[in-house]
Amino acid sequence: MRADARRNRDRIVEVARALFRAKGFDAVSMDEVAKGAEVGAGTLYRHFATKDELYDAVLEAWAERVNAAVDRALALEGSARERLLSWLTDYAAMLTEHKGAAARITAALGDPDSPFATKCQTYLAANQRIVEALGAALRPDVEAMQLSRLVGGVAAVADNSELPADAVKPMLGIIADGLLATEVEATR
């Protein structure tokens, strides 16, 4: 890609990120993104044929952040509950960064035809890492998909209700407690 085309693409993604975060996916038009990025509609559509493709590009950086959050949670010194709650808190925060993303991503879980399938797989893999790493500290029936949907549901409520992070954390604590095998094992 030529340098000027790369700059245009990067500017489009940055403008779209800001608009999606502020207004939500459904409220942003491709024309609005083009105007904000100061490019013509043709330039925008050369890079992104659909709004879903553009949204996917905005979400690309999440994969790296997701994996870093899992690494941080698993590296914590502390109980399984503390490590799990650290991850759940980061996961919910990432889902609520862009207005409407929590519901959209959570609804797309398990749908291979979703434009967000790659991002969903990243989250599922991250939750699978948590499930495997915490092993016996978790109930034996805990699965990555359940974990993704539970936290996604809380994140969607937080996003739609515009709840602050300090109101979300107690709900995530309840989820963490429900996922843990026993109180004794959770203190490992």
Q: Tens of pLDDT along 72-107?
A: 999 999 999 999 999 999 999 998 887 888 998 899
pLDDT at 1: 65
| Residue 4, CA atoms < 13 Å, CB-side half-sphere | 2
Same domain flag for 69 and 123: yes
Q: Which domain holds residue 10?
A: 1-49
Alpha-carbon distance of 63 to 59, in angstroms, equals: 8
Number of independent structural domains in the chain: 2
Same domain flag for 11 and 96: no
Same domain flag for 42 and 75: no
Residue 115 lies in a domain: yes
Is pLDDT above 60 for 185? Answer: no
Is pLDDT above 50 for 184? Answer: no
Residue 98 lies in a domain: yes
Same domain flag for 22 and 87: no
Residue 55 lies in a domain: no
pLDDT at 146: 95
pLDDT in tens, 118-165: 888 999 999 999 999 999 999 999 999 999 999 999 999 999 998 888
Same domain flag for 11 and 98: no
| Mean pLDDT computed over 41-53 | 94
pLDDT at 61: 63
Q: For all residues of the chain together, what is the average pLDDT? A: 90
Is the CB of residue 105 less than 8 Å from the CB of residue 116? yes
Same domain flag for 78 and 161: yes
Residue 54 lies in a domain: no
Which amino acid makes up residue 76? L
